[in-house]
Structure 1
Amino acid sequence: MSSAAIAQSSPPAPGPFFRWAAVGGSALLLLLLLAVFPYQHWDFAERSSILGGIIRKARQDSEWWFCLVTPFIVTWLVHRMKRQLVSLPARGSWLGAPLLVAGMWFYWFGYKVDTAYPGYLSGQLLTLGLILQLGGREWLRRLFFPWAFLVFTWPMLPLESLLALPLRMLTARLSAIVLNTIGVAVTREGTGLHSAADELRGLSQGQLFQLDVEEPCSGIRSLFSLLMLSALYGWLSLKTWRARGILIASAIPLAMLGNMVRMIILAIGCVWFGSDFAIGRNIGGHQEMSFYHSLAGFMVFGVALAGMFGLSTWMEKTLDRRPPTPAAASRAAPPLSAAEAWRQLAAVVFILGGGLFACSISDVAYHVGPAGVNPEMPGLLAGYASVDQPMTAREKSILAEDVRIERRLYTRSDRAILSTIVLSGAEKRSLHSPDDCLPAQGWMVANKNFVTLDLGNGFTPTASLMTMYRDVEDSSGRRVRLKALNLFWYLGSDGTSCAGYEEHIWRTYFDALVKNLNHRWALLTFFVPLKTEASGFEDPFAEIKALEDMKEFIRTLMPVILVR
């Protein structure tokens, strides 16, 4: 049957008014869901929209401002396709309906448990579902890249936490290799780079400089913005998906290379001009960056962008040659009837409106549980005397303002125990993980397992136990291996305990959904250094004795600080 015959026998297609209704209605619904509806408590005071939370995060960390630019770039990309899109008929597919239902479920889930990440996923799924439901598969094929590019709108904080430590460790390791190769002697401790000891010059380790590859220097902050730039530049300048994929993937090593160059420039500057000139001065516990330090920071983007443009230029001449493809025979598809198109639009309104109604009738009163422990530990306990170790300036700069740290070093003649209690703040992910922090300080985890603590009255939490070692230089420049045990667990508001960081995150969401309870988590950690002994004369029972002393100490401490 010819296309003319199909057109004569088919019901009338949706007119221009439907296009305006579909586009305008979708935009208004997304605006209501993402920019107007009060979605999450970004602090304890009140709820605000998903967009309001992104703006708040960008104000806290300027590296995330690119998230707010992304929707405007997507709008521009769609506008560039205006002529192509106008000629496309609207052949909506009911395959979009399951995506819309899934998107609204994630939206309700995030609203109920009071966290933004399901809302971010919801925004991506709802946009995909709207394109497929109202436009159809051909619209989705044309708009796939602008839709995928929307992912850069959402601050990827969990991904930042997941990737930051490995990137910090790798940056420090590679920078140390390069510096030692070119004659700048350094030692690496975790993510730190210290100038090596020099007996001839009378210099101790770290006297010339002490650099730490902190999160802003790890490459993770610049990585997300570089991924966005490489995706956009590749889409505009390259023709094949292979070349575009290579350019996007190159953002990761290029960000690493840029940060390596930055660390090397800082280390060389410290050797040539001194630490105050190259890094800056520490005034009142706050590190003031020097002009040289700030200038070195531009190397991250300078090196990465130069590499990106150079790689793109090379691929344009070599890899980016799309082979000619024969034109496919056109096969006219039956147009969608106006009645069917309006039914699909009505389904969109019903699904999204129903999701908003479910949110409005859900019990989302913000019930913040009390802390499960009193963090003020006694000065004397079970034969141990103690010294208070207050929160350091660096900890204050890294952690959220409302996170509280209480720490005491307990000692007796044969044992030292560093006892630390960290109380979470307003943000659910405001606590850290010893699995990340201790390796970043230079400790290598030789073994990790779980132990059950009997604290009396039927309270038997499971804790994580790490056996660690660390190689350092003593005052004479000799390498010495230190050993230690670290035991920790997370305690919730109602006595809930979790042995690990990921478990306490998932328990947070589960209890917020089922119990309507937002935990005030406490991280309890106990660090016991082991006695340094000569090689071949180690006590085989040293770790067992230290663990038993630690357990006995915890059994004595917990009744004093536990809130029932």
Structure 2
Amino acid sequence: AALLALLVAVLPYQHWDFERRSSLLGGIMAKARQDSEWVFCLFVPFIVGWLVWRMRGELQRLPMRGSWLGLAALLPGMGLYWFGYKADTAYPGYAAVQLAAAGMILLAGGPVWMRRLFFPWLFLAFMWPMLPLESKLAFPLRVFTARLSAGLLNLLGMDVVRDGTGLHSAADLDLGLEQGALFRLDVEEPCSGIRSLFSLMMISALYGWLALRTWRSRALLFAGAVPLAVLGNVVRMGLLTAGSRWFGSEFAVGRNIEGHQEMSFFHSLAGFAVFGVALAGMFAVCSFLERRERGRKAAAPKRVPGGGGVTTWAHVAALALAAGGGMAACVLTDTGYVVAPPGIGMDLPGRHAGYESVDMPMNTLERQILHEDVTIGRRFYMTPQRAILASVVMSGVIKRSLHEPQICLPGQGWMIDGKEYIEVDAGLERPVKATVLSMHRDTQGADGGVKRTRALNVYWYFGSDGTTAASYDEHVAVSYFDSVLKNLNHRWALVSFFAPMREQMLGMDDPFAELAVLEDVRAFIRGLVPELVAQAGRVAPP
């Protein structure tokens, strides 16, 4: 326990505020102060301690049979701990502490102790804020919640149209009302379930362990946390939609003041539906599983093995040397942190290759979502035949990684139809591997007709030394390994080219339009990127 406390709460691990390193626990506390949905992480160590305390009588009767198998978890765990320390990122440290804890239990107590402490050890994983899961799940969960809410509301006779993560009142031909004339709601992150999902999963895991006997029943209750969280948010969206239709959006949702949404009392009250419905469902499922368990014969308790060998001083010494050696390696590693200069510029020209453009600065919503030191250079280029939105999203010294466009595009009403990797001649020394997304968005007019807009989005990530990555996962992996192997901390830029096509009536799509758009985007990239690279002081080939 003392060694784990050193790893988690004492040793400075990452530059959470980029003035000095702080421990893993310090970083978790900082995240909890910023985002209240992660406050539950701070309760996990106390819950784990309480679970172990409840077992104290049984643990005192268990034999101490240290196993050298513990080194198979402890040594990789400490190596991963150093890797995260050198890469200056917390996620390897989270995984390292889990591995190291398992290794310490095995090395000191043996497999019998590991089996008995398996759930408390597994429960420790809820201590780590899983921000990558949040970013990858938030928008898909928002879209799913909006889709399910729209389907149920239409079944109940409330005509709504889903536009990405938005719920709009349907067009009314008789009244001459266009889509969204009566109300427009958006399934924002607080309404998507992502902010209640992780805490509800923790509650269901703990409640299942205490109330149920079999691992199968506990797993069923735990898996039910996901649909229950979504169901709670569907009920919430139903209440907001009904309130908006009957009493107006200001009563149901609140006022929007200069881009900031002030929630109404009804909106706040509807928020209790998330946990109310989810917890009620969890208790109902658990009661059903308990009744099913009572109908079965309880398994005889397993006899605790006794006698045999004991943990030797060699086991204790190996544990101390492995953990101490890993921490010593961190202390001896250079703690200086310098972010490399960007490898590409952001000053997009006003005119390029016959295109005129307008500047599109960061809007209020983007400032709320993105980290404060992330900046955007963006212009909308137009000719009579083509329109291209060119963007360079530059990470900062704190927020070095950037999410993928497909994380937020569905929230803007775009339905992604396909994704593939292509090679693009960007006017550099070698072709760039990029991601191309094909998508569409439908809108309904006052006459009830549906029009479809299709679009392509070509993007990649540009590193400080000219390294490129086609995907989010690839650019994160390159960041980790280059920081460790090259001592290079990239300042990444997301280079994106979004090209919408002409709006067409549904069913009138031109099958060759995407090919023509892609060729125009390729030509646009080939002329523009070398100019941006030159702004960063890098020389593009002639």
Gaps of 5+ in 2: none
- Kindly state the Cα deviation for residue 327 of structure 1 after the two structures are TM-superposed: 6.5
Encode CA deviations 1:45-104: one digit per residue, 9 max, x unaligned.
Answer: 221110011011111110000000010011111111122222323222221122111110
The letter for the 1-side match of 2:402 is L
1:412 aligns with 2:383: yes
Encode CA deviations 1:355-401: one digit per residue, 9 max, x unaligned.
Answer: 11211222343231111222121212222211111111111111111
Give, in whole Å, the separation in 1 of the partners of 2:520 and 2:341.
30
Give, in whole Å, the separation in 1 of the partners of 2:374 and 2:517.
30
The letter for the 2-side match of 1:208 is L
1:217 aligns with 2:153: no
Question: In the alignment, which residue of structure 1 is the partner of 2:176?
Answer: 202
1:360 aligns with 2:331: yes
Counterparts of 1:524-539 in structure 2, within 5 Å, are 524-533=495-504, 539=510
Classify 1:84/1:272 alpha carbon distance in 2 versus 1 (closer, same or farther; 3 Å).
Answer: same
Encode CA deviations 1:144-171: one digit per residue, 9 max, x unaligned.
Answer: 1111111111111122223223322221
Give, in whole Å, the separation in 1 of the partners of 2:203 and 2:126.
10
Q: Assess if the C-alpha contact under 8 Å between 1:239 and 1:322 holds in 2.
A: no
1:388 aligns with 2:359: yes
For residue 446 of structure 1, the aligned residue among 396, 411, 417 is 417
- Kindly state the Cα deviation for residue 462 of structure 1 after the two structures are TM-superposed: 1.7
Encode CA deviations 1:260-297: one digit per residue, 9 max, x unaligned.
Answer: 10111111110011101111111011111111111111
Question: In the alignment, which residue of structure 2 is the partner of 1:30?
Answer: 4
Question: In the alignment, which residue of structure 2 is the partner of 1:229?
Answer: 203
Classify 1:341/1:320 alpha carbon distance in 2 versus 1 (closer, same or farther; 3 Å).
Answer: farther
Gaps of 5+ in 1: 1-26
Question: In the alignment, which residue of structure 2 is the partner of 1:254?
Answer: 228
For residue 214 of structure 2, the aligned residue among 240, 246, 252 is 240
Give, in whole Å, the separation in 2 of the partners of 1:541 and 1:520.
38
Classify 1:62/1:125 alpha carbon distance in 2 versus 1 (closer, same or farther; 3 Å).
Answer: same
Q: Assess if the C-alpha contact under 8 Å between 1:239 and 1:320 holds in 2.
A: no
Give, in whole Å, the separation in 2 of the partners of 1:272 and 1:361.
66
Question: In the alignment, which residue of structure 1 is the partner of 2:74?
Answer: 100
Encode CA deviations 1:395-423: one digit per residue, 9 max, x unaligned.
Answer: 11111111111211111222211111111
Give, in whole Å, the separation in 2 of the partners of 1:214 and 1:185.
21
Q: Assess if the C-alpha contact under 8 Å between 2:14 and 2:22 holds in 1.
A: yes
Give, in whole Å, the separation in 2 of the partners of 1:157 and 1:544.
37
- Kindly state the Cα deviation for residue 135 of structure 1 after the two structures are TM-superposed: 1.6
Of residues 428-437 and 327-336 in structure 1, the stretch that sits farther from structure 2 once superposed is 327-336
For residue 492 of structure 2, the aligned residue among 490, 499, 521 is 521
Classify 1:82/1:328 alpha carbon distance in 2 versus 1 (closer, same or farther; 3 Å).
Answer: closer
Aligned residues: CA RMSD: 2.0
Question: In the alignment, which residue of structure 1 is the partner of 2:478?
Answer: 507
For residue 75 of structure 1, the aligned residue among 44, 49, 52 is 49
Of residues 360-369 and 117-126 in structure 1, the stretch that sits farther from structure 2 once superposed is 360-369
1:342 aligns with 2:313: yes
Q: Assess if the C-alpha contact under 8 Å between 2:388 and 2:521 holds in 1.
A: yes
For residue 115 of structure 1, the aligned residue among 89, 96, 102 is 89
Classify 1:124/1:330 alpha carbon distance in 2 versus 1 (closer, same or farther; 3 Å).
Answer: closer
For residue 173 of structure 1, the aligned residue among 147, 167, 171 is 147
Question: In the alignment, which residue of structure 2 is the partner of 1:437?
Answer: 408
- Kindly state the Cα deviation for residue 429 of structure 1 after the two structures are TM-superposed: 6.0
Give, in whole Å, the separation in 2 of the partners of 1:536 and 1:187.
19
Encode CA deviations 1:434-479: one digit per residue, 9 max, x unaligned.
Answer: 1222233222233332332223352421221222222111354310
Of residues 52-61 and 358-367 in structure 1, the stretch that sits farther from structure 2 once superposed is 358-367
1:264 aligns with 2:238: yes
Q: TM-score, normalised by structure 1?
A: 0.91
Q: Assess if the C-alpha contact under 8 Å between 2:401 and 2:492 holds in 1.
A: no
Encode CA deviations 1:293-344: one digit per residue, 9 max, x unaligned.
Answer: 11111110000111111222222222345624457677643232xxx52221
Aligned residues: 535
Give, in whole Å, the separation in 2 of the partners of 1:537 and 1:65.
51
The letter for the 2-side match of 1:135 is G
Question: In the alignment, which residue of structure 2 is the partner of 1:3?
Answer: none
Q: Assess if the C-alpha contact under 8 Å between 1:254 and 1:307 holds in 2.
A: yes
1:61 aligns with 2:35: yes
Classify 1:143/1:387 alpha carbon distance in 2 versus 1 (closer, same or farther; 3 Å).
Answer: same
Q: TM-score, normalised by structure 2?
A: 0.94
Question: In the alignment, which residue of structure 2 is the partner of 1:559?
Answer: 530
Give, in whole Å, the separation in 2 of the partners of 1:234 and 1:268.
35
Of residues 476-485 and 45-54 in structure 1, the stretch that sits farther from structure 2 once superposed is 476-485
Give the secondary-structure state (helix, strand or coil) at the position aligned to 2:117.
helix
Encode CA deviations 1:166-189: one digit per residue, 9 max, x unaligned.
Answer: 322221111001100111111112
Of residues 475-484 and 416-425 in structure 1, the stretch that sits farther from structure 2 once superposed is 475-484
For residue 348 of structure 2, the aligned residue among 374, 377, 381 is 377
Q: Assess if the C-alpha contact under 8 Å between 1:406 and 1:422 holds in 2.
A: yes
Give, in whole Å, the separation in 1 of the partners of 2:423 and 2:269.
51
- Kindly state the Cα deviation for residue 560 of structure 1 after the two structures are TM-superposed: 2.4
1:298 aligns with 2:276: no
Counterparts of 1:280-299 in structure 2, within 5 Å, are 280-299=254-273
Give the secondary-structure state (helix, strand or coil) at the position aligned to 1:396.
helix
Question: In the alignment, which residue of structure 2 is the partner of 1:23?
Answer: none
1:487 aligns with 2:458: yes
Give the secondary-structure state (helix, strand or coil) at the position aligned to 1:354.
helix
Give the secondary-structure state (helix, strand or coil) at the position aligned to 2:377.
strand
- Kindly state the Cα deviation for residue 430 of structure 1 after the two structures are TM-superposed: 4.4
For residue 460 of structure 1, the aligned residue among 428, 431, 435 is 431
Classify 1:536/1:293 alpha carbon distance in 2 versus 1 (closer, same or farther; 3 Å).
Answer: closer
Q: Assess if the C-alpha contact under 8 Å between 1:240 and 1:322 holds in 2.
A: no
1:318 aligns with 2:292: yes
Encode CA deviations 1:175-218: one digit per residue, 9 max, x unaligned.
Answer: 00110011111111222211111232332211222222222222
Question: In the alignment, which residue of structure 2 is the partner of 1:6?
Answer: none
Give the secondary-structure state (helix, strand or coil) at the position aligned to 2:427.
coil
Q: Which has the larger radius of gyration?
A: 1
1:351 aligns with 2:322: yes
